[in-house]
Chain A
Amino acid sequence: MSEYREIIEQVFCEVFEQMAFMFGDPVDSEELMTDADEFLVVKMDFHGDLHGEVEMVMEKDLCAEIASNVLGVDVDDEKAHELGTDAAKEMLNVICGQALTEIAGSEPIFNLTVPEIKDVSARKWKKMVADKDYVCFVLDDHPALCRLVLKS
């Protein structure tokens, strides 16, 4: 179980609502349904008083939807597809910054790495959903996962 589940639940929903006008609901893993077979993970590290990583996992197609909402363009707009993964990276960047302030307060300085994206297979996605470290969300009818892991 993620030590910072409540913080992740709160920050993830707030950031998506404020930046992308998308509404997230924390749910149990059994409630996550998808027919998608292509997923991706966005990941970044943080260093400072605390060291660790933050990850967000989602259907590939959700990226264009995020970008369309953030940019205020139609989901079929070329720009939404072009900037889909870039928008997903930026969402994680903001989630990471907000979560670290919630966890550690506003005094410590953290150095954040640039977010990276990797493909995730459907098989790996199922494993991640079953992993209790991930907090599960339904984000505008799409499944998504997020976790924050501290490293010693």
Chain B
Amino acid sequence: MKLNVLIVDDSSTVRSVLKKTLDLANIPVAELFEAENGREALQILHDQWIDLVFADINMPVMGGIEMVENMSDHGMMNSIPVVIVTTEGSQTRIEQLRQKGIKGYIRKPFTPESVKDEVNKIIGS
């Protein structure tokens, strides 16, 4: 099954690298959407069918945590798996985010293998 993927990061560099990494990891992508912050992402999630979201935590306008909290309040968005891609290494933070509903966590710098492992855990290999 090919996936509609949304990448949410204020850095164009990270979005480009993650796109390339999905390709290198052989993740089957149907359509790829990009957002620079959580607010833009929520609009895309409202308008498009998305199977998987990769999101940064620290972004201007609306960060990843606020975005996940907003998604929890919307029935349809609530079930879309979110993978947090961040430079932060706090296990406490990760646990808090899991309680808020995130399904996966990838620490930067990431590799195709680490991305593939996380996606497989969520979507299935």
Known interface pairs A19-B109, A106-B91, A108-B92; A97-B86 also in contact (CB < 8 Å):
yes
Chain A, 67-84, CB within 8 A of any chain B CB: 67, 70-72, 79, 82-83
**Is B22's beta carbon under 8 Å from chain A?**
no
Total number of A residues with any Cβ neighbor in B under 8 Å: 30
**Is B10's beta carbon under 8 Å from chain A?**
yes
Q: A86–B89 Cα gap in the complex (Å)?
A: 22
Known interface pairs A112-B58, A113-B58; A90-B90 also in contact (CB < 8 Å):
no
**Is A139's beta carbon under 8 Å from chain B?**
no
Q: Using CB atoms, name the residue of chain B closest to A102.
A: B89
Chain B residues near A79 (CB-CB < 8 A): 16
Known interface pairs A107-B92, A114-B59; A83-B87 also in contact (CB < 8 Å):
no
Q: A98–B16 Cα gap in the complex (Å)?
A: 22
Q: Using CB atoms, name the residue of chain A closest to B108.
A: A94
Known interface pairs A109-B93, A112-B87; A67-B13 also in contact (CB < 8 Å):
yes
CB pair A72 B89 closer than 8 Å:
no
**Is B100's beta carbon under 8 Å from chain A?**
no
Q: Using CB atoms, name the residue of chain B closest to A19.
A: B109
**Is B66's beta carbon under 8 Å from chain A?**
no
Q: Using CB atoms, name the residue of chain A closest to B60.
A: A114
A86 to chain B, nearest CB (A): 5
A-facing mask of B102-117, CB < 8 A → 1, else 0? 0000011100000000
Chain B residues near A109 (CB-CB < 8 A): 88, 90, 92-93, 96
**Is A101's beta carbon under 8 Å from chain B?**
yes
Chain B residues near A101 (CB-CB < 8 A): 89-90
**Is B17's beta carbon under 8 Å from chain A?**
yes
CB pair A83 B13 closer than 8 Å:
yes
Q: Using CB atoms, name the residue of chain A closest to B10.
A: A114
CB pair A97 B89 closer than 8 Å:
yes
Q: Using CB atoms, name the residue of chain B closest to A114.
A: B60
Task: Give 5 CB contacts A-B under 8 Å.
Answer: A71-B16, A71-B20, A90-B13, A98-B89, A108-B92
Residues of A within 8 A of B (CB): 15, 18-19, 67, 70-72, 79, 82-83, 86-87, 89-90, 93-94, 96-98, 100-101, 106-114
Beyond A106-B89, A106-B90, 19 extra complex contacts between A and B, CB < 8 Å: A18-B109, A19-B109, A70-B17, A71-B17, A83-B12, A83-B13, A86-B11, A87-B13, A90-B11, A93-B87, A94-B109, A97-B108, A101-B89, A101-B90, A108-B90, A109-B90, A109-B92, A110-B90, A112-B88
Nearest 8 interchain pairs by C-beta: A97-B87, A101-B89, A87-B13, A18-B109, A19-B109, A109-B93, A109-B90, A94-B87
